[in-house]
Structure 1
Amino acid sequence: MVADTKKGSPTDDDRTTGLARMMLRALLLAGAASWAAPAFAQDQAIAPDDGGAAPVVTAAAADEPAAQTTPPVASGEIVVTARRRQENVQDVPIAVSVVSGATLDAVGTYNIQRLTQLAPTLQFYSQNPRNTFINIRGIGAPFGLTNDGFEQGVGIYIDDVYYNRIASATLDFVDVERIETLRGPQGTLYGKNTTAGAINITTRAPSFEFEGKAEVSLGNLDFVQGKASISGPLSETVAARLSVTGTSRRGTLFDTYKSTYIQSQDSIGVRGTVLWRASPNLAITLAGDYNLQDPNCCAFAYGGYGPTQRAANRQYPALISYFPGYSVPSIDPYDRLTDADAALRARNEHGGLSARAVWDIDDANTLTSVTAWRYWDWSPANDRDYTGLPIYTAVNNPTKQNQYTQEFRFNHQGDGYDVVFGLFGFYQEIRTSGLQQTGPAASRWLLAPPSGGVCTPTATALACNPAVLNNVVAINDIRLDNTSLAAFAKLNWEFGRLTVSPGIRLNYDNKDGLYDSVVTGTASDGTRQVVSAAPGSPYFSDPWTAAQRGVQASQFFEPQYDAWNLSYDVNLRYEITDDVNLYANYARAFKTGGINLNGVPADANGAPILAAGTIEPEKVDHFEVGIKTQFLDRRATLNVTGFWTEIRDFQANVTNGQFGTIRGYLANADKVRSRGVEADFSIRPSAQFNAYLSGAYTDATYTRFTDAPCPPELSGGTTVTGSQVPGPAGVPGSLSPANCDVSGQVLPGVSEWTASWGAEGNVPSTLFGEEGQFYLGYDASYRSDWSSNPSPSIYTNVEGYSLHNFRGGFRTDRFDAFAWVRNAFDQDYIDLLLAGTGGNTGLIAAQVGDPQTWGGTIRFNF
């Protein structure tokens, strides 16, 4: 068949994309039309299923220390909406943990990063808000710098609205009711096809009784945090809630170059919600939020040196010696010193609007519509060479995103069964305007040194001429248009004590991308020229532009991806007794394919290898069995889960081995596996004491990945050819393999052993005439060592550590005043280790965890 090349003649892909966008527009229009529902609403009370006020958590969850002044109800029931209907968490046949807003406030968990200390199998890593990734059980997102063209494996939902970019979900929590963390694939219940799990955040709904609260926290490092919310009726049918939060803290890392602290916290969040009970069986909730994070951030400290296979005169110790008078501020990362000479910025602004309508058609049927728009504006500035030398003077990728979502769900409650049907539409537009610029130290750092390594006044080596690489500038235009449509359904069918829950999802994804990097540099004749990778282009043979091309060259390509896929799962639950449930799950899930938008490897003629422009979807087979139990009159809970997840075509972040490459690209590893056991225990023998213990063993490995990027100790030398044998690891001047077989090695970012535990006790008493409780609480977490490099490296293995937190104070129904200390024993620990930029120099950069912090909080309810 010959393609029609006439201008304006649509291809099959054009027709498919156009159809998809027409369907999305139809969904959005239907969402808008759903506001006509009041005319058809029947005069009856709002059913609690999937609408109205948020469910009430009536006791501490398995991983949740209590922060209430009143004792729990005897039933110990925790009501959640993890499966799009209200049910006791102990009846949900999946691994799910619940943390209430009261607990978040008590233990000082005010963002997702701190949530990891309460959820052992949740991993959170962040170089800055954009380069942030969240994993569950070691899977979810490729470990490395963010690439706009792929999807997250862990879905973030706030009040039913999907947040596509993790950067837009790094906000401080605002007036949270509860957080449910669901582990394992969730695509048959949630709008986006999340394959590793979902974090489902529910904020407090507007109240028809006047209420409010305010709190202020002060601490060391100039920590100041304020929170306030107020809610009440505007009329008999309309209620509103307004919540604000603000956090400020001095940085934990001192930049000796600029004589200022960096890694600070500076954020503000505002959220407003209006609930309109349009009729007794129709509730419409309108919400809007604005969040701004503008810290002096982000940089790394010197983390060490690990020899590579690069020539000794091009490794870190030799390179540093080429700059007389320069030395790092400290070789101990725990001195918390750096010397970032480039400008730093991490301004992260995001917000949005949503409209949620819940119509209880009758006692058995509920229709829910969720319409939302969100935006994200990322304005960064980075020092990506991790030194105080002007090697890279700018590596910035400011990004703007708009996303639109529309979801419909229809819940039907039958005799012995219930079912949820859903339609989901998503459109995302990302525009990134990148900048990368080298400085006067780049030639000496990045180019081959002269014989003997000494630059004399008469030396002609390009490395001795700062002008060769000074002011080489890459202007990157990166675009993504991303459309996703899905239909899904979930059935719960009861056969006595056995409940069978099959689910299905049909998904269509289309991604259209553009990557256009125009690199310009100064040629040897003093003119500014485009640095082209194509032989025969102007100035291609010029020695200066040839040297510049070895660091970075212009590149243009337009990747495109579209595909349909089918997911399905089945959950089995058997109720042995009212307090003991067994369950087993199988899920076949997909994480949609993606496109590379950070550049791709080039062929011998300098042209981009277009086959690397797209990545295949992940194919997930997930198995899970577990038992959920309660005993001691439901004052004790013990839940145990075993899981086994296999992923084919795992989406991994790799590098192409080109000298000077900064940003990696996405590729598919053959197969990975994550398996393990999780256990959660909690006990509340009386209203005066509660305790909890959660732990997990996770074995997450590359089952087969034979062409992975090599770790630093096996990189940097001349690549082997023919029958040549690679040299020993970490020996300068050795031959390097073209790629490495990491089959059987661990996935990055996941510890084999993790745990969290804590307890709280209280004594009823009276203070200043107020009846209340004196209380003392303790929380701790532990993780064993883990790999901080996509291919495990002897230089980037992070040692295990434990963190311990204490709090104590006095509370009544009206106020709570307490002191707290976090990382009480001032444990030195690492958040992240990275191999330094510049081509296998052996430099290791370290992101150091927070030191001991302490302070006090006072909270009022009215």
Structure 2
Amino acid sequence: MRSSNKSGFCLRACLLAGAGLAAVTAMPAAAQDVVVDEDAPSADAAGEGEGNFITVTARRREERLIDVPISVSSFSGQQLEERGAVDITDIGNYTPNVTLEPSRATNSTLSAFIRGIGQQDPVSGFEQGVGIYLDDVYLNRPQAAVLEIYDVERIEVLRGPQGTLYGRNTIGGAVKYVTRRLPQEPALKAKASYGTYNLAEGVVTASTPINDIVRVGGSVARLSRGGFGDNLTLGTENYNKDIWAGRASVEMGGYGEPVFLRIQGDYTKDKSNPRGGHREIPSFIGGAPVLDNVYDTRGGLVDPAQDVESYGLSMQGEIDMGAGLTFRSISAWRKDDSSTPIDFDALATVDFDVPGIYRNEQLSQELQILYDNGGPLTGLIGAYYLDAQADTLFESRLYTSLPTLLPQLTGYTAALVDTETYAVFADATIDLADRISLSVGGRYTWDRRDADITKQNFIFGGSGAFGTRGVVIGTDTDFVGSADFEKFTPRASISFMPTPDHNLYASYSKGFKGGGFDPRGVGANAPDLNSDSIVSDDEVAAFLSFEPEEVDSYEVGYKGSLADGRVNVAIAAFYADYKNVQIPGSQACVVSGVPTFCGTVTNAGKASFKGVEFEGSARLGGGFNLSGMLGYIDAQYDEYITNIGATPTDVAQFRKVQNTPEWTGSATLAYNAPVGDGDLYAGATVSYRGKTFQFEVPNPFLDQNGYALLNGDIVYTLPGGRITVGVHGKNLLDKRYRTSGYPYLAADPTTGTLLTVTPATQTALAGTCPAGNYPVGGYYPALGCEGTMTTFYGNPREVFLTVGFKL
């Protein structure tokens, strides 16, 4: 693997941070984020925080939710606490047409989809379709992006393309995780939780002013839980949690001062055991039966030890320059390292095992000038820079038919992919009349992708990156290349507000995601390999690369407050035309006579999404409140071109949009009222997700039929408001539901239908695999000999008690 051209990375980080600090301190901040009154009634108590009248910063300025002409959901910190939310994936249960879940065999890598657009593959080379922001800092990679919820002010979910208001262009939507600003008075908060599966968690938050201008504070969190099941081979717990996390910040100004500056650092250490998958089929050779407990596994891979570490520094400054102008700077540096062993076959033997390492580092700088003097015109202009490095190392360890001579066949992949992005953007809203406003915006993005990809095959061991070094028997890919992508993406919306309580709007936005290089691609498969000509670097690059994708998104909606504010609703209908869709994948392949594991990324073609979303809340009287959401989406591929043999074939009729159920919904009935001298909150939530396809090719073992989950919460605040006691129940009906998996059984390349053993293939299997259960009419493996059909499940029933204290 060639060395990264990153010698100046830290130097540039220091220079950019220094430039941002100099810009902030040389001039003067209207606070962007809303300071929440923690003693105010909860969101549910007031009908979801008065529904459309809660304040958000979805358009980079404080405004009522009802005034925002885009689809956005917002959850306050107190609301999340009352509902016992644990991490960012819980938000998916309350937001229409949104999927947030841990990625397959990981605990902390995030798979995010909004309205059919997302990215499930966590390896370097692929941009995410949904932007995750931690205090306005874009997280470039999905590793360590399953953010634990603590010390949070609110979380916002924006659906549809983003780019004229936010640092990084995102084609599907954005999730904003906003932490609390430090208060002006000394403060201390602590919360402890204990529950089933030996859940034991604690969070302590403290802050104090140094003087009238400077404040310091931070939080420390210990998050632990026993496993839902066991690894029967290793004797360890499966699906456990073992996390230390913390944040610290120094703030200056704000609270009426013209200058606000925050310097913040965060750190997370995750030593949870690797998540082992559940085999959905008996093993073909050993005859190991399907385990009764879906949270149990037999996976035997132990190297590398599971270890996830992420940390970062950011500096945010705002200056009120007068005359309605505000200057803002956001400088950030982040780094994360993940080591994870993935036992695809979930058996003690080495049949298809993949140890992996992910190393990511990023540096970003954003500058904005905002204008809002209370007149008919508001707007902003901004510039954004991102320099990010993603390094992926993994081995594919496969069973060999000659265990005495070739005890292990290992395919090694090392991919270093650098992304450098520059962008300028602007957005403005003008009141055309008392009741009509027009918003227009645009963004120009320049992306550069540099890739260094090596793929080799070893026998008698591996690459040396994960232990013993074997003997190289072939190099499939040895590639260094780069590509540039640039695009202008506009946005426009018009709003009509007949009264301040009602907003009718229509919007259009274009989304764009740059292309790249498949880190698992096999350069030896370049088009001219079998001809007399020499394969050029350009030909290899063309085989490994994929082009940008685009989406044109249209939306009409209504937001309103009815019955004197007791009922609040938001309804949106949308249509998206998705072009040049990037479909990353992997499959069994044979290169130079050697079975291996190949990337299959393609720009498959076209897709269209249309749907309706509803969110609402109502105060029913007597302390009762009802809130909920409903999402419907018709997501389909209109064209899906793939090579069947050497013939391009449209297989759209056989493909599905992954991680996008047709229906999503939830309903929460809550009761909030004084009891004694304290306050009681009691709520029950039912959430529903329709049938979900885990991949584009339907699979009867992996795909999850529709299901509902029931949660319940009771929280009592003692007199004085300093102590709270809560009992929370998750998945109270103990539903088993699949969230992801690995399918490697032989399938028809057109329809995706799993193939069955014929007399001819039975004879072929006898020549490559030891004697096993390969009856005619049964399934047979695509990689290894045991067959891989492994799934991962959502959490079972959990009940836990929380006690909170604050000064």
TM-score of the alignment, normalized to the shorter chain, above 0.5: yes
- Determine the structure 2 residue equivalent to 1:65: 44
- The answer to whether residue 473 in structure 2 is matched with residue 505 in structure 1 is no
Partner of 1:734: none
Residue 561 of structure 2: aligned partner: 630
Change (3 A) 1:577 1:745: farther
Match of 1:390 among 344, 347, 350: 350
User: In the TM superposition, what is the alpha-carbon distance from 1:782 to its structure 2 partner?
Assistant: 0.4
Contact 2:727 2:802 in 1 (8 A): yes
Letter in 2 for 1:828: R
Counterpart contact for 1:174–1:270, Cα < 8 Å: no
Distance 1:674 1:816 in 2: 44
Indicate the residue corresponding to 1:299 in structure 2.
276
1:399-435: per-residue Cα shift (whole Å, max 9, x none)?
Answer: 2221000000100125310110000000012233333
Residue correspondences, number:
739
1:356 aligns with 2:316: yes
Does residue 1:854 correspond to 2:762, yes or no? no
Contact 2:277 2:295 in 1 (8 A): no
Task: Give a deviation string over 1:48-103, Cα, whole Å, max 9, x none.
Answer: 4x36x636699889xx634x8xx999897211111001100110000000000111
Q: Which residue of 2 aligns with 1:592?
A: 514
Contact 1:407 1:423 in 2 (8 A): yes
Asked if 1:645 corresponds to 2:576, the answer is: yes
Aligned with residue 36 of structure 1, among 13, 22, 29:
22
What does residue 244 of structure 2 align with? Answer: 268
TM-score where L is the length of structure 2: 0.86
TM-score normalized with structure 1 length: 0.80
Q: Distance in 2 between matches of 1:60 and 1:580?
A: 24
Task: Provide the rounded CA distance (Å) in 2 between the counterparts of 1:468 and 1:743.
Answer: 45
Question: Residues 500, 26 of structure 1: CA spacing in aligned structure 2 closer, same or farther, 3 A cutoff?
Answer: farther
Contact 2:277 2:344 in 1 (8 A): no
Give, as a single letter, the amino acid of the residue that structure 1 aligns with 2:549. E
How far apart, CA to CA, are the structure 1 residues paired with 2:552 and 2:51? 36
Residue of 651, 668, 671 corresponding to 1:758:
668
* Alignment partners' CA distance in 2, 1:21 and 1:583: 49
State the Cα distance separating 1:34 from its structure 2 match. Answer: 4.0
Give me the whole-angstrom Cα distance separating, in 2, the residues matched to 1:60 and 1:792.
46
Q: Matches of 2:20 and 2:416 in 1, distance apart?
A: 33
What displacement does 1:41 show? 4.1
For the structure 1 residues 286 and 700, does the alpha-carbon distance in structure 2 shift closer, same or farther, using more than 3 Å as the test?
A: same
**Residue by residue, what CA displacement relative to the aligned partner does 1:537-588 show, whole Å, maximum 9, x if unpaired?**
xxxxxxxxxxxxxxxx642112321122111110111102211100111112
For 1:137, the equivalent position in structure 2 comes to 115
Q: Give the direction of change, closer, same or farther, for the CA distance of 1:391–1:844 in structure 2 (3 Å limit).
A: closer
| Distance in 2, Cα, partners of 1:124 & 1:696 | 15
Task: Look up the match of 1:519.
Answer: 457
Report what 1:786 is aligned to.
Answer: 692
Q: Tell me if the contact between 2:671 and 2:682 (Cα under 8 Å) persists in the aligned partners.
A: yes
The CA deviation at 1:133 is 1.6
Aligned to 2:607: 672
Corresponding residue number in structure 1 for 2:485: 563
Q: Secondary structure at the match of 1:382?
A: strand
Q: SS in structure 1 opposite 2:143? A: helix
Q: Note if contact 1:405-1:427 (Cα within 8 Å) is conserved in structure 2.
A: yes
> How far 1:24 sits from its partner (Å)?
13
Q: How is 1:162-181 mapped onto 2 (pairs within 5 angstroms)?
A: 162-181=138-157
1:47 paired residue number: 30
In structure 1, the residue corresponding to 2:280 is in which secondary structure? Answer: strand
Give 1:47's aligned amino acid: A
Worse-superposed segment, 465-474 or 227-236: 465-474
Question: Aligned partners of 2:271 and 2:733: how far apart in 1?
Answer: 30
Are the structure 2 counterparts of residues 130 and 616 from structure 1 closer, same or farther at C-alpha, using a change threshold of 3 Å?
farther
The aligned counterpart of 2:782 is 839
Partners of 1:336 and 1:21 in 2: how far apart? 44
How far apart are residue 139 of structure 1 and its match?
0.8
CA spacing shift, 1:828–1:353, aligned 2, 3 Å: same
Which residue of the partner structure matches residue 485 of structure 1? 422
Which one-letter code corresponds to 2:360 in the other structure? Q
- Retained in 2: the 8 A contact 1:57–1:79? no
For the residue of structure 2 that corresponds to 1:701, the secondary structure is strand
Label 1:275 to 1:221 Cα distance change in 2 as closer, same or farther (>3 A): same
The 3-state SS of whatever aligns with 1:696 is: strand
Q: What do the CA deviations read for 1:733-758 (whole angstroms, capped 9, x no partner)?
A: xxxxx967134743011111110111
Aligned to 1:309: none
Map Cα deviations across residues 588-640 of structure 1 (whole Å, 9 max, x no partner): 22111121112236337487843222111111110011000101221211111
After TM superposition, list the pairs within 5 Å mapping 1:284-683 onto structure 2. Answer: 284-304=261-281, 319-320=284-285, 323=286, 326-328=287-289, 330-332=290-292, 334-343=293-302, 345-392=305-352, 394-414=353-373, 415-438=375-398, 442-443=399-400, 463=401, 465-496=402-433, 497-522=435-460, 529-532=471-474, 554-600=476-522, 602-603=524-525, 605=529, 609-655=540-586, 658-659=589-590, 660-662=595-597, 664-683=599-618
Q: Which amino acid in 1 is paired with 2:693?
A: S
Alpha-carbon shift at residue 246 of structure 1 (Å): 1.8
Work out the CA distance in 1 between the residues paired with 2:11 and 2:167. Answer: 16
Alpha-carbon distance between aligned partners in 1 of 2:49 and 2:709, rounded to the nearest angstrom: 32
Shift in alpha-carbon separation, 1:469–1:384, aligned structure 2, 3 A: farther
RMSD: 3.0
Residue 158 of structure 1 deviates from its aligned partner by: 1.3
Change (3 A) 1:557 1:208: same
Once residues 181 and 171 of structure 1 are traced to their aligned partners in structure 2, the CA distance between those partners, rounded to angstroms, is 14
Q: Looking at CA atoms only, which structure, 1 or 2, has the larger radius of gyration?
A: 1
User: Does the CA contact (< 8 Å) of 1:174 and 1:244 recur in 2?
Assistant: no
What's the CA shift for 1:257?
Answer: 1.2
Map Cα deviations across residues 506-544 of structure 1 (whole Å, 9 max, x no partner).
100111111112322259xxx964222xxxxxxxxxxxx
Q: State the secondary structure of the residue aligned to 1:114.
A: helix
Alignment of 1:767-806 (within 5 A): 771-806=677-712
Identity of aligned residues (%): 27
Deviation larger for 416-425 or 656-665 = 656-665
For 1:381 and 1:472, the matched residues in 2 are separated by: 17
- C-alpha distance 598-798 of structure 1, shift in aligned 2 (>3 A): same
* Aligned residue type for 2:663: W
Distance of 1:435 and 1:89 partners within structure 2: 48
Verify the 8 A CA contact 1:515 1:556 in the aligned structure 2: yes
Matched-pair contact (CA < 8 Å) for 1:59–1:76: no
SS at match of 2:660: coil
Q: Matches of 1:130 and 1:375 in 2, distance apart? A: 14
Q: Deviations over 1:308-332 (max 9, x none)?
A: xxxxxxxx6xx32xx4xx513x354
TM-aligned CA deviation for residue 36 of structure 1? 3.4
Deviates most, 223-232 or 343-352: 343-352
Evaluate the alpha carbon distance shift between residue 504 and residue 134 of structure 1 in structure 2; reply closer, same or farther with a 3 A threshold.
same
Match of 2:229 among 231, 250, 253: 253
Residue type matched to 1:33 in 2? Answer: A
Paired residues of 1:28 and 1:405 also in contact (CA < 8 A): no
1:789-825 Cα offsets, whole Å, 9 max, x none, are: 2222344321111110112242131111122221111
The CA distance in 2 between the partners of 1:815 and 1:521, in whole Å, is 62
